[in-house]
Amino acid sequence: MMNPVECIRRKRDGGILSRPEMEEFVGAYTRGEIPEYQMSAFLMAVYFNGMDSGETLAFTDIMLRSGDVIDLSSIPGRKVDKHSTGGVGDKVSLILAPMVAACGVPVPMISGRGLGHTGGTLDKLESIPGFRTGLSVGEFRQAVGGIGIALAGQTAEIAPADRKMYALRDVTGTIECLPLIAGSIMSKKLAEGIDALVLDVKAGPGAFMPTEGRAIELARLLVDIGERYGKQTLAFITAMDQPLGLAIGNWLEVAESITCLRGKNIPDLMEVTTVLGGAMVFLGRKAGSIEEGMQQCRSAIWSGKAYEKFLHVVERQGGDVALVRAPLEYRPAPQVVDVSAGRTGWITGFDTKRIGMLAVELGAGRKRIDDAVDPRTGIVLEKKLGDRVRAGDLVARLHLTQGANADLLAVELLSSITISDAPVQVGPRVLAVVDAAGVRPWRTPQVH
């Protein structure tokens, strides 16, 4: 085996590790034969010098093969999942998964928890009393086979090496590195037993990728890895210059998702959800194009089939169906506080990351891995980018715990929202699409 220090020096000096070298180095780390301090130096060298496509694949492969790969081949149909790189108010999965499953495409979805300023689908699902995300591989397979959808958390058997690596990256300043991010995402997604994958790579100040260019770079990497594993992969670049939809906070987002599943159109949220869903239905071969897939998704909503599928999942996974049917019965947060505009004008900017951190502050997310979340807390916006407001108009409502300082938090929220004298042009929500052939601009077709 190549000396570990030699591997570090090679990467440090801009060299490339062969696939066997990479497999040996990362493999030895995952087996505990290389200490954390050598891996962290290596990861920092990767941060500066990157990885080529062969290295990224080898890296992904070791993490993928460190655990179980779920086999869903006995279930008919092409299994398709979606992954988002994370945003504020991003409850897309809650609407999308039952909607796509209602179109006949099996959705084996494994989600994560909130990270930094972004929320996590698992935390949202668990705000439904009784909802159990800790499915065994057998339960997961049975749910996908039985009702065409399973919404679960990552088990200890899925890519354990990624868990070890991610924990190290988190404490050594080596998170923000495209090939490492791509390897981490894809090793988990490829372990799910999918046939195809749709990716939502968020771009903007509220996302991990601050610019469209960086987001496209990451999307290309993700698509490249997926395609090399023979999984058709489509990535959409979507805007994260404001929270998606209106609600931020676990139950608040579930409640918003339920209204959308029942037919309410929250434009930005439903545009992104329908485009991603249309792509999933297309990749699931239930539609001849993304646009046709989008039409089927809309039908699944209008017909009530998407909502019905959601009720099925909740029931199957032990959630309180009665509460989902009557979301206003949910016990409210102890304080609900109105936040009003201090001046007249147009909403021209959201400091989305700050709003995400504010939601964490309110109890909707975690500062430390073992913090508990309060599912009732969060923010519900009443205004979005481009909206006209008058001084005194309701801009948002804060849902707070008993002891929270409402005045301070209201000021913090208001100072995260820019109101100007002149309106701004709000850009498109879905910016571009990346597939094996490359990147092209996206223009969302009108479907009804």
Residues near a second copy (CB under 8 A), total: 23
Q: Is 388 marked active-site?
A: no
Amino acid at 152: A
Name the 3-class secondary structure at 55: helix
Q: Which of 84, 184, 187, 416 is catalytic?
A: 184
Q: Does 36 bind a second copy (CB under 8 A)?
A: yes
Q: Which two tokens stand for residue 124?
A: 């949202």
333 neighbors 398 (Cβ within 8 angstroms): no
Q: Which span sits near a second copy by CB under 8 A: 91-99, 169-177, 199-207, 272-280?
A: 169-177
Task: Classify strands 232-239 and 247-248 as parallel, antiparallel or unpaired.
Answer: unpaired
Residue 299 annotated among the catalytic residues of the structure? no
- Angstrom distance (rounded) from CA 141 to CA 338: 45
Q: Is 171 in the site for a second copy (CB under 8 A)?
A: yes
DSSP three-state, residue 448: coil
Helix (H, G, I), strand (E, B) or coil at 250: helix
Q: How far is the CB of 218 from a second copy (least distance, A)?
A: 19
| Closer residue to a second copy (CB): 172 or 444 | 172
Contact segment (CB under 8 A) with a second copy among 42-50, 79-87, 95-103, 411-419 equals: 42-50
Which whole-number Å values give the CA distances from 177 to 47, 186, 227, 229, in the listed order? 5, 14, 21, 22
Out of 40, 335, 340, 444, the residue judged to bind a second copy by CB under 8 A: 40
Q: What is the DSSP letter of 152?
A: E
Told to judge if 169 belongs to the known catalytic residues of this protein, a careful annotator would answer yes
Is 2 a binding residue for a second copy by CB under 8 A? The answer is: no
**Among 116-124, 170-178, 227-235, 268-276, the segment contacting a second copy (CB under 8 A):** 170-178
Q: In the complex, what is the shortest distance from the CB of residue 173 to a second copy, in angstroms, rounded to a whole number? A: 4
In the complex with a second copy, which residue's Cβ is closer, 137 or 168? 168
∠ CA(227), CA(231), CA(237), 5° rounding? 70
37 binds a second copy (CB under 8 A): yes
Of residues 22, 26, 45, 254, which one binds a second copy by CB under 8 A? 45
Asked if residue 142 binds a second copy (CB under 8 A), the reply is no
Distance between CA 204 and CA 446 in Å, rounded?
A: 24
Q: Which two tokens stand for residue 369?
A: 């891995």
Smallest gap from residue 39 Cβ to a second copy (A): 7
Query: Contact 28/9 with Cβ under 8 angstroms?
Result: no
Q: Is position 40 annotated as part of the catalytic site?
A: no
In Å, how far from its chain's centre is CA 248? 14
Known catalytic residue at 312: no
* Residue placing its CB nearer to a second copy in the complex, 211 or 303: 211
Nearest to 252 by CA among 123, 377, 133, 97: 377
Q: Are 125 and 151 in contact (CB under 8 A)?
A: yes
Q: Cβ of residue 176: shortest distance to a second copy, in angstroms?
A: 8
- In angstroms, rounded to a whole number, what is the distance separating the alpha carbons of residues 321 and 119? 23
293: left (phi over 0), alpha (psi -120 to 50) or beta: alpha
Which listed residue (83, 316, 376, 397) is catalytic? Answer: 83
Stretch that binds a second copy, among 35-43, 114-122, 381-389, 437-445 (CB under 8 A): 35-43
List the interface residues with a second copy, window 47-66 (CB under 8 A). Answer: 47-48
5 scored as a contact of a second copy (CB under 8 A): yes
Q: Which residues bind a second copy (CB under 8 A)?
A: 4-5, 8-9, 12, 35-41, 43-45, 47-48, 168, 170-174
Q: Which residues are catalytic?
A: 83, 162, 169, 184, 188
